[in-house]
Structure 1
Amino acid sequence: MPLRVGYVREHFSSPLLQFAEADGGKTFTLVECPSGTGQLISRLTNDEIDIAIALTDPLISGIAKGSEAYRLVGSYVTTPLNWAVITGKDTKFQSIPDLKDTTIGISRYGSGSQTMAYVMGLQQGWPTEDLKFQVNNDIRGLINSVNDGSTSAFMWEWFTTKPFVDAGEVRFIGSVPTPWPSWMIAAHPTRAPSDLVKPFLSTLTTYVTAFDSEEKRAQDNVEFIKDKFGYPEEDINAWLKTVGYPKDCATIPTEVIKETLSVLEKAGFIKSPEGGFSVSQFVNSDVVTLT
């Protein structure tokens, strides 16, 4: 049985899509999760996927909160994710401080859109226990919510939301980059056995390395993203200047896990157990190498 790999269809997934086209479903099949990491975690839990390429913070916070549905097996994007703060086209909100004591739209509880709202609150000095949320499932639901007034704003990746800003549907009022590398790889501990996950990560590394090369960034990557996602060339080039990928997808820096836990705890999103967290509980050590 091929592995079922959950992913979000965004420009970040380009190396994975190239790998999938070459593989042709022999070793894995892709399962699109348009609602983002909250949906990926839900599908890992419900036996709908075996591996997820998802945002670092919700993956780590899910394990910190007791999930047994997955463990980290690798890294996917080593640079921060730039989260845009988005409001409706006609709202009164002009900047992030204006959002205090309002309702923030999120895709799902436990999603990156929620964890980053806590990080934003921490940066602003707001009492994070007072944050209010409304679940709106996906980008379309989130856009509708800021325009019908049921939420004040939502957070989503900058370049993914830019076409909606360019079309005049919503407005940018700020941005909050993640304090951690943005994407990791997680796998179910039994449904995704090590002898299948290791070769998957090894081959994914070859596609990531090729995509990350100067030569591919100059032309092939631009054409691929333009063809798959329809983004303007200037936006693609701007994004390519900001993104970095790992040299080996089957490695995770220990400090990334520690620092992410530290920020999430300061933000009030997770609570450390007595004696603190052990990094080893977050990873499948049969697959991944901690550096």
Structure 2
Amino acid sequence: MVLRIGYVREHFSSPLLQFAADDAGETFTLVECPSGTGQLISRLTNDEIDVAIALTDPLISGIAKGSEAYKLVGSYVSTPLNWAVITGKNTKYERIEDLNGTTIGISRLGSGSQTMAYVMALQQGWPTDNLLFKVNNDIRGLIDSVNDGSTSAFMWEWFTTKPYQDAGEVRFIGSVPTPWPSWMIAAHPTRAPAQALSTFLQQLSGYVRVFDSKEKREKDDVEFIREKFGYREEDIKAWLATVGYPPDCATIDTKVIEDTLTVLEKAGFIKSPGDGFKVEQFVNPDVARLV
């Protein structure tokens, strides 16, 4: 079986892209999802992909809210994601505090851009039961919305959106790092065979370890990202100084699931059942190892 792997074409995906170039479609094909994790989850649900490399919080919150379209099968990035808080080039907003009570742009319902708005509100002490959102689908829609005034701000990964700030299209007014490691791997519980998934994760782990090595970080990683994404060298090096990958993509830290659920529940984004959440319900035990 050739697995359909959904992903977001960002610098985080570099090891995956290197793996895909060598595999040449023999065991998997890549399906780009430019709108982010909300789109990835939708495509998992609609049988358009078998596997998703997506943001931790929407994946976990989706299962917590009852989705049966996927289970967690692995980990991809072991460090937090730094979300920039982004407003229009000529708006009145100067600080995160100025956004209280305004409409926040998001890519899709259930996306990382939405869950992180709840985390931001929790950090700021705002009530989370009446946050206002406007769906704008993708990065271009989000940028347009903060400049036409239909939203006050949106949240997106810092280095992905920095070129838009450098070009004067938007302004950064702050940032909110995730309280959890940022990327995980999920798969449909029946469409993606356990053996095929295990093989994919084992091979992906090899590419991740090479990319994450000190030797590759000094030169090859910088050149690959610059060629693929056109980022400035200083931005690439700044990002590489902050990011880490797991040595084994088939392992999942139990504490990551527990801590993410705790924060999302405090933010009011999910509600725990009477007997509480059980970590095991989030994971496919035939593929992933809880540690």
Q: Give the aligned partner of residue 176 of structure 2.
A: 176
- Which structure 2 residues correspond to residues 83-122 of structure 1 after superposition, within 5 A? 83-122=83-122
Which of structure 1's runs of 4+ aligned residues deviate more than 6 A?
A: none
Task: Please report the RMSD computed on the Cα atoms of aligned residues, expressed in angstroms.
Answer: 0.3
* Amino acid of the structure 2 residue aligned with 1:192: A
Task: Give the distance between the partners of 2:89 and 2:44, measured in 1 at CA.
Answer: 36
Percentage of identical aligned residues: 79
Shift of residue 130, structure 1, vs aligned partner: 1.2
* Amino acid of the structure 2 residue aligned with 1:57: D
- Which structure 2 residues correspond to residues 31-180 of structure 1 after superposition, within 5 A? 31-180=31-180
Shift of residue 96, structure 1, vs aligned partner: 0.3
- Which structure 2 residues correspond to residues 275-286 of structure 1 after superposition, within 5 A? 275-286=275-286
Shift of residue 47, structure 1, vs aligned partner: 0.1
Q: Give the aligned partner of residue 20 of structure 1.
A: 20
Task: Give the distance between the partners of 1:45 and 1:265, measured in 2 at CA.
Answer: 24
Q: Give the aligned partner of residue 267 of structure 1.
A: 267
Count of aligned pairs between the two proteins: 291
Q: What stretches of structure 2 of length at least 5 have no aligned partner?
A: none
Task: Give the distance between the partners of 1:119 and 1:285, measured in 2 at CA.
Answer: 29
Q: TM-score, normalised by structure 1?
A: 1.00
Q: Give the aligned partner of residue 211 of structure 1.
A: 211
Task: Give the distance between the partners of 1:100 and 1:113, measured in 2 at CA.
Answer: 16
Over residues 2-52 of structure 1, what are the superposed CA-to-partner deviations in whole Å (9 max), with x where a residue is unaligned?
100000000000000000000000000000000000000000000000000
Task: Give the distance between the partners of 2:51 and 2:14, measured in 1 at CA.
Answer: 17
Task: Give the distance between the partners of 1:284 and 1:269, measured in 2 at CA.
Answer: 24
Over residues 152-205 of structure 1, what are the superposed CA-to-partner deviations in whole Å (9 max), with x where a residue is unaligned?
000000000100000000000000000000000000000101010000000000
Task: Give the distance between the partners of 2:285 and 2:227, measured in 1 at CA.
Answer: 38
Question: Tell me, what secondary structure is at the counterpart of 2:129?
Answer: helix
* Amino acid of the structure 2 residue aligned with 1:16: L
Task: Give the distance between the partners of 1:191 and 1:228, measured in 2 at CA.
Answer: 31
Task: Give the distance between the partners of 2:130 and 2:51, measured in 1 at CA.
Answer: 34
Q: What stretches of structure 1 of length at least 5 have no aligned partner?
A: none
